[in-house]
Structures are given as C-alpha cells and as structure tokens.
Amino acid sequence: MKLWGGRFEKSTDKSVDDFNSSIRFDCRMYKQDILGSIAHAKMLGKCKIISEEDSLLIQNTLREILKDIEEGHVDFEIDAEDIHMNVEKILISRIGDVGKRLHTGRSRNDQVALDIRMYLRDEVIEIKKILAELERTLIEIAKKNIDTILPGYTHLQRAQPITFAHHMMAYFQMFKRDIERLDDCYVRINIMPLGSGALASTTYPLDRYMVAEELGFDGITENSLDAVSDRDFAIELSACLSILMMHLSRFSEEIILWSSHEFGFIELDDAYSTGSSIMPQKKNPDVAELVRGKAGRVYGDLMALLSVMKSLPLAYNKDMQEDKEAIFDAVDTVKMCVPVFTKMIKTMKVKKENMFRAAQGGFTNATDIADYLVKKGIPFRNAHEIIGKMVLYCIENNKAIDELDMSEFKSFSELIAEDVYEEISLSKCVSGRNLPGGPAKESVMASIENGLKFLSKL
Ligand code: ARG
C-alpha cells in the first residue's frame, strides 16, 4: 500500500505509477535525503515531539540504510514513487511504527526542496574545484607563452599583435567570473526550507535553526509558501552554468580554428583528438566540438527549468518534479566538459613560429605606425588616413609595412625616419602596450599574480 493510501479505494494504475515516479532520477539524492531525515529526527527528539528513544532508533536505522544503499544492497521501488518515500518505506519495514513517526511536521514538499538544495550545494563546490584546475592550467600555459606573439583578431580579421599568454588570461578572467557567480549562487542555495511543511508550515514547535545548523545551512527560508515553490536557485545555477558553457564554447571554437591547417597555431595531442573512418589524414578536434555542442544542451536545461516554472500558481505543483532531470543534466554536462577540456589544452602543442608568422602578415602593426606619426605631431585622424594609403600600397605591392624602404616611407610622410623600423616591430607593438590590462609582459605578469592570489583564496 502507498504511504498516502488511506483515502483511496482503488490502487494506482500501473501506467500512472510509472508516469508519476521520479525514483529513476531522484535516487541520486539518497544521501541528502537520509542526512536531512537524520537531522529532522534528531530535532524532533530534542524538541520532545517524539521520544528521545524513538529519535535515536530512527537516526541509527537511517544510518544503516545509508550504508546499505552505498554498498549496493538496496533496490528502490517504482511504486514507492520517489526517493523520499522509498527511504521512508525501507525505514518502516525495518522498525515498524517507530519509523512512521519520522514524517511528523514535514511534507515531501519541504523535504524535496531541502534535498535539492543540499545536492546542488555539493555540486557547486565540485564545479568550482574543476574550474580552479582549469584556471591553474591557463596560468601554466600563460607563463610559458609570455613572449609568444600572435595576431589578436576582431571580425576574425588580424587586428593587432598580442601574446598567447594575454589570450589565455582573457579566458582566465571569464572563468574567474564564473567562479564568482557560483559563489554568489551558493549563498541563495544554502538556505534551509524544512519547517515549511506542505505549504503553511506546521503546528509542531520545530526548531528550524537547529536543523539548519546540523546540516550546515547559512540560514532558514522566511516564507513557507515561497520555500516549497521556489526553484530560482536551480534556475540561477543553470544560468551560471550556461554562461560558463558559453565561455567554454567560445574557447572550443578557437581551439578548432587554431588546430586547422589554415591557422596552424596549435596541435592537439593525439590522446585528445580523433581520426576519420574514411579519410586517413584527418585529426579532428572532436573534444572541442563536443564541448561547443554541449553548451547548447545546457542552455536547453535552463530553458526547460524556466518553462516548467513559468505560470505555476503557488505553492508546490507536481510540474516541479520536472526540475531535477534538467538541473542534474546541466551539472553532469559541465562536470564532464571542464576536466576533459582542461586536459586537452594542457597537452596541446603551441606552435609559436606559426603564430608569429601570422602576426607578421595582415598589417597588425598599422595602428602602431599611425601612432608613430601622432607622436611626431600629426592628428590621429590624419595619421589614420596616411597609413590607410600606405596599407593599400603594400597590398598592391605585396609587401608588409616593415618591408618598405625609407624612400617608400617618405613618400607617405616626410616625418617618417629610420627609427620607424624599431617602433613598429611586433615586439615593440606588444611591449608598448603595458597599461594595466594590456598584453605587455609586465601587465600580463601582474594579471597572473592577481590570478594566483584569487586561486589561493578559493
Ligand atoms: N517527487 C516529488 C518532486 O520531485 C516530491 C514532492 C512531491 N510532493 C507532492 N505533493 N506530490 O517534486
């Protein structure tokens, strides 16, 4: 019989049991469910709502059940619907009527809210750890490439020279904000909802603060209706994860471009690439492509959650059972993508010469020669026009700017002198941009220092 079977005269149709049941996917919260129940039982005993003896028996039996589940001795039942009722049923099967006292002053509505919050806060911590590893890897690569010059792009057209370290540290900043967003989201996840009951709290004198303390929460929810119907913490987390995946997807896209013959900036390690079943020459960046693809999947999870919650009247509605697969999928996907991505970039070969060669083409020092004229007194707009003509001349004559001879230079401006060659060399273009946030060695070093400080505080 169902734990709620009292007012029913017929049993549930088998198809409805299957349809209603969430045990297939909420069983992964068994630990949170049991730890939550242990804290609830302890509090019920302490507040004399049940006897101390019953409380202890319940707590100990729950611990045994936890151990049995972990050792693989427990089979969950579809018709016990979800993890909450499965655990309670097992408890009752072991200690009879005493077990039936556990659910005093509690509803599955506040129980499920508790379990998801406990589950997600652990996942946030886990995701932060793998992101920190990615960040350390970026710093490692940056340190090795402080002087590796490559073109920076806008519109995917070569724009100005930067360093590979600077490029890596750009991603460092994005993932740093992702970590900070997760921290922020954690604050709203880590609030304890038990005591909200089904929707209107309870008449039992529960000590909610004690339960919060026992379970490591930072506070308790302030409105029972809100507490059982709020899933914004899960939506917020999937939004954070979507942004993170968007960053990873941009990075993946660059890895894919860079590993092409057209760019030739990096070579992925054999262990992180795949071949073609027909074209023997191929070495494909499948890992990066899959990560890029999975970003779409995580966005889908966010949309699913937003759509499930849209228009739901207060308080709990069964629609909300649909929250779990989406948020679990988002979390699982991120946890799969980040570590393999990290290993992929850790092992990639950086082809410094190709990067440098690319920076030599495409007139990436054109801004610098315009600036050279500005320093000699010409207004920037005029300098821009002069250099525009010079670039046109170079294109027509198939030359780079620094391949022009003095007489060619002078034909554009009398102010150009011998020192121009030094001034527009790629290394000068980079080293001159030494403002905070710029690509020059000392600026990137400072940013690495800050990054290491940030990571050491995690
Ligand atoms: N399995 C349910 C869920 O995930 C637990 C809450 C059920 N509450 C209810 N009133 N039917 O949402």
Q: List, for residues 265-323, the tens digit of each pLDDT value.
A: 999 999 998 887 878 887 899 999 999 999 999 999 999 999 999 999 999 999 999 99
Q: Which atom of ligand 1 is nearest to the CA of 81?
A: 1
Q: What is the mean pLDDT of residues 9-24?
A: 92
Of all protein residues, whose CA lies closest to atom 12 belonging to ligand 1? 321
Pocket test for ligand 1, best of 25, 103, 112 (most atoms within 8 A of CB): 112
Domains and CATH numbers, the chain: 5-104 (1.10.275.10), 109-353 (1.20.200.10), 366-424 (1.10.40.30)
Is pLDDT of 75 > 80? yes
Between 17 and 114, the higher pLDDT residue: 114
Of all protein residues, whose CA lies closest to atom 10 belonging to ligand 1? 109
Is pLDDT of 261 > 80? yes
Tell me the three state secondary structure of residue 349. Answer: strand
Model confidence over 159-199: pLDDT tens digits? 999 999 999 999 999 999 999 999 999 999 999 999 999 99
Taking the C-alpha atoms of residue 91 and residue 95, their distance in angstroms, rounded to an integer, is 6
Is pLDDT of 6 > 90? no
Tell me the three state secondary structure of residue 161. Answer: strand
Considering 155, 261, 277, 311, which one is annotated as catalytic?
155
Is pLDDT of 26 > 80? yes
Distance from the alpha carbon of residue 317 to the mean position of ligand 1, in angstroms:
8
Taking the C-alpha atoms of residue 360 and residue 12, their distance in angstroms, rounded to an integer, is 74
Distance from the alpha carbon of residue 79 to the mean position of ligand 1, in angstroms:
14
**What is the structure's pLDDT at 384?**
95
Distance from the alpha carbon of residue 190 to the mean position of ligand 1, in angstroms:
20
276 catalytically annotated:
yes
Pocket test for ligand 1, best of 85, 109, 117, 312 (most atoms within 8 A of CB): 109
Considering 11, 93, 260, 276, which one is annotated as catalytic?
276
Alpha-carbon dihedral 13, 14, 15, 21, rounded to 10 degrees: 110
Taking the C-alpha atoms of residue 437 and residue 166, their distance in angstroms, rounded to an integer, is 9
155 catalytically annotated:
yes
Phi and psi angles of residue 346, each rounded to the nearest 5 degrees, phi first: -60, -35
Structure tokens at 54: 């019953």
Distance from the alpha carbon of residue 171 to the mean position of ligand 1, in angstroms:
40
**What is the structure's pLDDT at 278?**
79
Of all protein residues, whose CA lies closest to atom 1 belonging to ligand 1? 82
Between 275 and 454, the higher pLDDT residue: 454
Is pLDDT of 19 > 90? yes
Place of tokens 């709620």: 4
Is pLDDT of 416 > 80? yes
Taking the C-alpha atoms of residue 317 and residue 305, their distance in angstroms, rounded to an integer, is 14
Give 24's pLDDT tier (boundaries 50, 70, 90).
very high
Instruction: Give which of 149, 139, 208 is closest to 365, Cα–Cα.
Output: 149
Is pLDDT of 417 > 90? yes
Question: How are beta strands 219-220 and 191-192 bridged, if at all?
Answer: parallel
Taking the C-alpha atoms of residue 202 and residue 388, their distance in angstroms, rounded to an integer, is 76
Protein residues whose CB sits closer than 6 Å to any atom of ligand 1: 22, 26, 82, 108-109, 112, 316, 318, 320-321
Tell me the three state secondary structure of residue 374. Answer: helix
Q: 372 and 416 in contact (C-beta within 8 Å)?
A: yes
Is pLDDT of 1 > 80? no
* Lowest-confidence pick of 253-262, 349-358, 399-408: 399-408
Phi and psi angles of residue 16, each rounded to the nearest 5 degrees, phi first: -70, -40
% of the chain residues with pLDDT over 70 = 100
Of all protein residues, whose CA lies closest to atom 4 belonging to ligand 1? 321
Is pLDDT of 56 > 90? yes
Q: Which atom of ligand 1 is nearest to the CA of 22?
A: 1
Q: What is the mean pLDDT of residues 423-439?
A: 95
Tell me the three state secondary structure of residue 332. Answer: helix
**What is the structure's pLDDT at 362?**
85
Distance from the alpha carbon of residue 4 to the mean position of ligand 1, in angstroms:
12
Pocket test for ligand 1, best of 22, 25, 108, 114 (most atoms within 8 A of CB): 108
% of the chain residues with pLDDT over 90 = 93
